[in-house]
Each structure stands twice: as C-alpha cells, then as structure tokens.
Structure 1
Amino acid sequence: MTTYRINRASDPDDLARKTSDFIASQISLTLDQRERCQIALSGGSTPARAYALLGKERLPWDRVDVMLGDERWVDPDDASSNARMLRTTLLAAEPGSRAAFHPVPTVELANAEASADAFGRSVAELCEGEPPIFDLMLLGLGDDGHTASLFPGTQAAKTTDRWVTVGRGKGLDRITLTAPVLSAARQVVFLVSGAAKQVALKRLLDPDESPDRTPAKLVNSSKEIVVLADAEATNNL
C-alpha cells in the first residue's frame, strides 16, 4: 500500500523554500550515484516560486535533464504554457539555465496526438526502464483530485499501455505522462497549497478513496510519497 509523509510549511513562501531545498537535495543525492539526473516537474502557479529559488542553487545543472509531467497544447510563448513558466523561473538565469530542458512539442506538430507520440519517444530515450524511470517526479494536486493532466472521468486517467497520452481538462488538450510513469519515479512528491485543496488532499491520503474520483490516487509507489503542503492545505487533517 502506498504511504505518504507530510512535510508541512507555514505559508506559501516557506513552502517554496522547502520545495526548492527538497528538489536540490534529491538532485545532489542522485548525482552522487549516477552521471545524470532526470526530473519531471509540474506546471501551475504553486511551484513557480520554488523554481525561481531552485534555479539559484549551486548544482551541477549541466548533468540534469528537466521535463514536464504535463503541458497544455498551446504555443510555447502562451501565458498558460508550463514551458514558458519554467523558462521564466528555473531556467531564467545561471546556474539553473545550464540544465538540459526537454520541452513537450506542441503546436509545431499537427495535433495533440502527434505531440504525445513525440514526447513519449523523448521520455523513453532519456529515461531507463519500462516504464521510464525519473529520479524525481514533482506533481501538483487539483481541487478536483487530478494530477498531471489525469482528470476524473477521462480516458487519460485509465491509460496504462503507453507512457504519454492526450488528456483534456478545462477546455484544453494537454499532453501528459500516464500513471505508470508517474508511479515509477524513484521519488514522487506532491506539492499542495491553499485552502481550496483541503478536500482533495484528504482524499489523496485516504486509503479507501477511489482513483475514479481522485486520479491522483493512481500514483502508486513502493517508496514513501512525500507531500509538501502549506498550513492552509493541511488545516483539516
């Protein structure tokens, strides 16, 4: 059974610092054992502060491969692009800019399916294993219980026979890693912030919760999953 360890932060700024420190520590630990480190990061507004701090960490970034767990099928310069957010935070300046970023191809290809196929090939080439294994998988948690772009009641949440698929949420096509890849990471971390996430977080931690209602429950790991959460998100636990 999947187990969770909650690391509480006092406020969003403290959460950003804890998240940056945790990711930096995982990168260092990985690079002590292997030549390169592969991490998959979440999009959205919550991790942006953490990524800005992380990009200032004195790490051997030239040995780090960065990917996204999911991406909206929009132009890379669109305000809602996760790649754009990474370029303006983690990758904005040295030393973080020395990381090798492998963005999800989007509108330069014919459609979202073509993008998913292309990104799937990139993930399989970059990461060892079947399913591909990331050293760190940082995930968000939606107030509806989704993670990456695995939304309740969608085919993407049920897909297990490919590493990347097309999800649809909030009116947009999205390219997303599937549950087998999310679960295969050496370290899985959920980043949760705000009072609106209280119910979803409680469901995530409930061993009897259905993954049909809360797709984040599809992420299963043999190693303890770390939950980095602020005071507002954990208030009712």
Structure 2
Amino acid sequence: MSAYHLVVAGSAEDLARQCAETIATSIDLALAERDRAQIALAGGGTPRATYARLGQEHLPWERVDVLLGDERWVPSDDPASNARLLRETLLAQGPARSARFHPVPTDLPTPADGARSYADLLRQLCSGETPRLDLVLLGLGDDGHTASLFPGTPALAVREQPVTVGEGKGLPRITLTAPVLSAARRVVFLVSGAGKRQALQRLLDPEESPERTPARLAQPQGEIWIFADKAAAEALEG
C-alpha cells in the first residue's frame, strides 16, 4: 500500500502556493528526463487558486501535455465543465498558455464514444502498457470519491481500459480508471473545507474499503502527497 504524506497549509494562499510548487517541480523533473511531460488535473472549485498560481510558473510549457482526470458530460462552455475551469485559470494568461491542452471530447454522440476517444489519446501520449502520467492531481469528495470514481459504481472495477464512463450526482462522466491513477509517477490530493474532514480521515485509514472510499484506489509506487487546509485536517492534527 502507498504511504501518505499530509501537508496542512495555514491559509488558502499557502495551500494554493504549496500545491502549485509541487506540480511545477514534478513537471521540471519529468522534463529533465524526457522530451515531454504529461499531467492530469482535477476539476471542481478547490484547485482554482492553485491553477492560477501554477499558470504563472516559468516552465517550458510548450513541452507539457495537460489532460483531465475526469470530465462531466457537458458542453465545453458549460459552467460545470472542467475544461472550462482550466481555460479560465491555468491557461488563461501567463506562461502556461503555451501548454498543449487535451480536453475530453464531450461533443461525440455518447459518453462511451468520449471515453474510447480519450483512452486512445492517452495511449498515444503516454508510455507504458498502462499509460503512465508524470503527475495526477486529484480532489476528494465528501463521499470519498476521486476523479469520477464514485462509491459503489461499476467504474471502480474497470481494469482493462485507461478511461471509462462514470456516473455521479446525476451526470454521466468520463474518468481515468484506478490502474492509470496508480501508474502515475506522482499522485497529489488537494483537499479543502470542513465538509471533507471525514473523507480525509477515511482516505488515511489503512482499514478503509476502496468501495466506500474510492480515493483509496489510487495506489502508486511512490508516496502520495496530500495538501489540505486546517478545516479539512482538523481532526488529524496532533
């Protein structure tokens, strides 16, 4: 089982800064070894400030492929779109505008078509029998889900495909599967808010079932970093 390294930030600004710096360092390390780096980023409101800071990092962004860990099956201009979030933050201005962004194609006839198309893209971009990303940034839902791997859903059991169709909160979603999350060279969680307190406790509990807390399905070879604010980590401190 992977070990977890918890970093508790003293403020929202510190949380965004530390997470952005960790992502930037991972990109630097990857580009020192390979011509291109591939990272998959999370959606939701929590990483917005992190992406704004990361977008200002002076990196060779033209050599970076930016993907999504998951996406809701909505048009790319929908307020719920993770692609829209990245275009409004990371890719909006500054050095990161030159990154190569690969959104999930949500304009295809069905979510299954979108999943197959994104799986093909992942295989083209990443090495390994299971596509290996340099970094995956994950969020944590109050129900223990991560990406679009929700408790008790069929997506949790998908092992043969890198991308599958998930279902959560009434919407079809496209999500990376557990084997791809676990194949990443670095996995980072970003967790914020008192509503995530119980889910974070469950994530760190070695006895916790991945069926109830799918975030525990991410089991890379290296240490998993968790950046959390005080509200989320309050019960764990001390």
User: Do they fold alike, i.e. is TM over 0.5?
Assistant: yes
In the alignment, which residue of structure 2 is the partner of 1:2?
2
CA distance in 2, matches of 1:130, 1:233: 36
Detail structure 1 runs of 4+ shifted over 4 Å in the superposition. none
Superposition pairs of residues 185-204 of structure 1, within 5 angstroms: 185-204=184-203
Matches within 5 A, 1:42-191: 42-106=42-106, 108-191=107-190
CA deviations over 1:189-229 (Å, ceiling 9, x no partner)? 01111111110000000000001100111111111101111
Name the TM-score, length of structure 2 as normaliser. 0.98
Q: Which amino acid aligns with 1:97?
A: R
Structure 2 CA distance for aligned equivalents of residues 69 and 137 of structure 1: 7
- Structure 1: how far apart are the matches of 2:174 and 2:217? 17
AA aligned to 1:52 is: A
**AA at the equivalent of 2:154:** Q
CA distance in 1, matches of 2:32, 2:115: 32
* SS of match in other structure, 2:35: coil
Distance 1:94 1:18 in 2: 19
Letter in 1 for 2:18: K
Structure-2 separation of matches of 1:200 and 1:229? 12
How many residue pairs were aligned?
Answer: 236
What SS does the corresponding residue of 1:203 show, helix, strand or coil?
helix
Residue 38 of structure 2: aligned partner: 38
Deviations 1:26-76 (A, max 9, x none): 111111111111000000000011001111111100000000000000000
**Which letter maps to 1:27?**
I
User: For the residues of structure 1 that align with 2:196 and 2:67, how far apart are their CA atoms?
Assistant: 25
Deviations 1:167-196 (A, max 9, x none): 010110000000000110000001111111
Q: Which blocks of at least 5 consecutive residues in structure 1 are unaligned?
A: none
Give 3-state SS (helix, strand or coil) of 1:191's partner.
Answer: strand
Unaligned runs of 5+ in 2: none
1:206 matches 2:191: no
Distance 1:22 1:71 in 2: 23
**CA RMSD across the alignment:** 0.7
